[in-house]
A and B are shown apart, each in its own frame.
Chain A
Amino acid sequence: MSTVALGLYNVCKSFGGLKASNNINIEVLEHEIYGIIGPNGAGKTTLFNLITGVIAPTSGTIRIYDKDITNLAPDKICGVGIARTFQNIRLFNAVSVLENLMIACQQTIHYSALDGCLRTPRFRREEKAAQEKCMAILEKFNLLQYKDVAAGKLPYGSQRRVEIMRAIMTNPRVVLLDEPAAGMNEEETATLAEMIRMLQKEYNLTIVVIDHHMDLIMEICDRLTVINFGEQLMTGTPEQAQSDQKVIDAYLGVDDE
C-alpha cells in the first residue's frame, strides 16, 4: 500500500442552499495520475478551490501527505507543495515568459530585499540558479524561443504550457491541472497526454486532472472519481467508470419511462 499524497475526507462546501461539494472522499496515492470528471457545474473546480485554499470548506478535512491543510491560506498551501493551473488561464500577461517562471521560483529564492537592492554575491548566486532551472524547463517544453515574449501575447496552446511550467517551478509534490485540454484538438490533446506522463515521471509528481476530454482522461489516469451536482458518483479505474450505470446516466440522462 503506497502513501496517500492528497486526501479529502468528508469534504462539504455549501454556497447558501447550494451544495457544491457534498461529502467528498478521495485518496490520491503518491505518483498517481488521478482524474476528476463530471458534467458542467458538477463542482470539479470547486474541489480544486477547496484544496488550494481559495475557498474554505464548510466541513471536512483535507490532507497532503501527513499535513492537515484544511484552513491554510492559498500562499501557504503552495509552500506545502501543491501547485495548480486554472481553467481560464491566469498568467502574468505583461511580463515575459521567462519572468513568469522566475516569479514562480520565488519560494526557492531566499535572499532578502537588501541583498536584492545591493546585488550581493548571494543575490547573483541564487538568481543564476533559478534562471538556469527556468531555461532548462523552457528547453524541455520547446518554448525557449519565446522566453522574452510577453506571456499574454503567446498563442493559446503555448500559454497553457507556460502555466503548467509555472506550476512545476514552485517545486510541488502534487499538481492540479484544471481542464488542461480545453480548446485543444485531438492531436494537441495527444501531445498533452504525453507531456503530462513525462512530467509525472521526470519530477516524481502526483497529478490530479480535471477535464471533459474523455479520451485524455481514459488514456492517462490510473484512477478517477466521477462527481455530479456535488455528489461523488463513483471512484475506480477508467474501465469501471465506463461501465458504471450511474455515470452513464449522469452523462446521458435517465430514461423517464
Chain B
Amino acid sequence: MTYWLGVLVQTCIYMIAIIGVSILSGFCGLFTLGHAGFMAIGAYTSAIVVNTFDVPIFVGLLAGMLLSTLLGLLIGAPTLRINGDYFIIATMGIGEAIYLLSQYLIPVTGGPYGYMDFHSFRGMEALFYVVPILIVVIVVTYFFIKSKHGRNIVALRENEMAALTVGINVYRYKMISMGYSCALCGLAGGLLAHYMTNVNPAMFTSTKSNDLVIAVVLGGRGSLTGAIIAAMILTPLPELLRFSSAQEWRLIMYGLTIVLVILFRPTGLYGDREFSISGLAKWIKRHSQRLMKRGEN
C-alpha cells in the first residue's frame, strides 16, 4: 500500500514539473532539453537550505524555486533574444552542466552518492505537502493561461510576427514562460528531494529532461488538461510495467506507448483543448446521438 502511495506522490511531483514545461514548450512553443537540471537546482537548494539553516521545509522549497527561476532567466536573457535553435541548445547545455556539477562538486552536493541526512517528509507527510501544492499549481496555472498574459504567450507561439504587430513584447513573454517553467521545475525538484530523503545526480539525467518534453507533446501542446493526463499516464507507467512478466520489457513498452500515441494522435491526447463540464456534456450528447442513429439503422 505504501508503495502505491509513493507512486502517487511521485506522479503529483512530476505533474508539477510537466505543467511547468508545458507552459514553455506547449504554450510558448519553445522546446527545452534540460529542465531536469532546473529540478536538480530546486532539489539541491531546498535540501541544503533546510539542512544548513534548520528552517521549515517550505522555506527550502521557496529558496529552490527562486534560485531555479533566477538561473532560468539568466540562461534565457541572452538566448531568447535571438531566433532559431540556440535556446534549445542552451537548455541542453545547462541541463548537462548541472548534472556534471552535481556529480563533481562533492563538498556541496555530496557527489555521486548524493546529498542526504536532511530534514525530509515522514511517511504520509509527503501527501499533505504535495497534494495541496499541486492543486494550487493547477488552479493558478489555469487562471494564468486564461488571462491576457497566457494569451500573449500562445500568440507568440502561433505567429511571432503577428504577435509583434499587436504590440506584444515577444522577448518579455518568452522570459515570463521561461521563468514560470523554471519556478515549477524547481518546486518539483525540491518536493522530490524531501520525499526521496536523498538527492543524487542520477535523478536528473538528460533522460529525465526528455521525459518532461515527451509528456508535454503526448498530452497535447497547449493543453493544461493534456499535461495533467500525460503525467498521470507516463509517471506510473514504468512502475505498472515493473510487475508481471513485463519486467524486462518495461522500457520498450514505454517507448511503444509513445510511438503509438504519436502515430494515432499526432496532436497529443488532448490537442490544444481543455477539459470542461460543458465540453464533456456536449461530447456525451454527440456520441449518444450517434449511438441512437446506429440503433435505428
Q: A95-B154, A95-B158, A106-B148 in contact; A116/B143 too (CB < 8 A)?
A: yes
Residues in chain B near residue A104, CB distance under 8 A: 166
The residue on B at minimum CB distance from A166 is B166
Min distance, Cβ A95 to any Cβ of chain B, angstroms:
6
Task: Encode contact with A along B78-94: 1 for CB under 8 Å, 0 otherwise.
Answer: 00000000000000000
CA distance A111 to B150 in the complex (A): 12
In the complex, whether A170 has a CB less than 8 A from a CB of chain B is yes
Task: State how many angstroms separate the Cβ of A180 from the closest Cβ of chain B.
Answer: 15
The 0/1 profile, CB within 8 Å of A marked 1, for residues 153-178 of chain B is 01100110111111111100000100
Interface of A is mostly: helix
Nearest Cβ on chain A to B204's Cβ, whole angstroms: 28
B297 interfacial contact with A, CB 8 Å: no
A-B CB contact pairs (8 Å), 27 listed: A78-B167, A86-B161, A86-B162, A90-B159, A94-B272, A99-B151, A99-B154, A102-B151, A103-B151, A103-B152, A103-B163, A104-B166, A105-B148, A106-B148, A106-B152, A106-B166, A107-B166, A107-B167, A111-B147, A113-B144, A113-B176, A115-B147, A116-B148, A116-B149, A117-B147, A167-B165, A170-B166
Give the number of chain A interface residues (Cβ < 8 Å).
37
Write the chain B residue with the least CB distance to A85: B165
Q: Is the CB of B147 within 8 A of A103?
A: no
On whether the beta carbons of A92 and B154 are closer than 8 Å, the reply is yes
- Say how far A244's CB is from chain B's closest CB, in angstroms: 33
> Which B residues lie within 8 Å of A106 (CB)?
148, 151-152, 166-168
Binding site for B on A (CB under 8 A): 52, 54, 74-76, 78-79, 83-84, 86, 90-95, 99, 102-107, 109, 111, 113, 115-119, 123, 127, 166-167, 169-170
Say how far B171's CB is from chain A's closest CB, in angstroms.
9
- Say whether B219 faces chain A, with CB atoms less than 8 Å apart: no
Q: Is the CB of B147 within 8 A of A84?
A: no
Q: Tell me whether A75 and B161 are in contact in the complex, defined as CB-CB below 8 angstroms, given that A94-B272, A103-B152, A113-B144 are known contacts.
A: no
Q: How far is the CA of A63 from the CA of B96 in the complex (A)?
A: 49
Place the interface of chain B in its size category.
20 to 34
Q: A99-B151, A111-B148 are in contact. List 20 more A-B contacts (CB 8 A).
A: A74-B164, A78-B166, A78-B167, A84-B165, A90-B162, A91-B159, A92-B155, A93-B159, A94-B222, A95-B155, A104-B166, A106-B166, A115-B147, A116-B144, A116-B149, A117-B140, A117-B143, A119-B143, A127-B147, A169-B166
Q: Which 6 A-B pairs have the closest CB atoms?
A: A116-B147, A78-B167, A92-B158, A74-B164, A90-B162, A104-B166
CB distance from B177 to the nearest CB of A (A): 11
Shortest B15–chain A CB gap in Å is 18
Please measure, in the bound complex, the distance between the C-alpha atom of A170 and the C-alpha atom of B168, giving whole angstroms.
Answer: 11
- Taking a contact as CB atoms under 8 Å apart, the answer to whether B155 and A103 are in contact is yes
Asked if B162 contacts A91 (CB within 8 A), the reply is yes
Contact status B149-A92, CB under 8 Å: no
> Given A91-B159, A94-B272, A117-B140, A109–B148 Cβ distance below 8 Å?
yes
Q: Given the complex, which residues of A lie within 8 Å of B168, measured CB to CB? A: 75, 103, 106
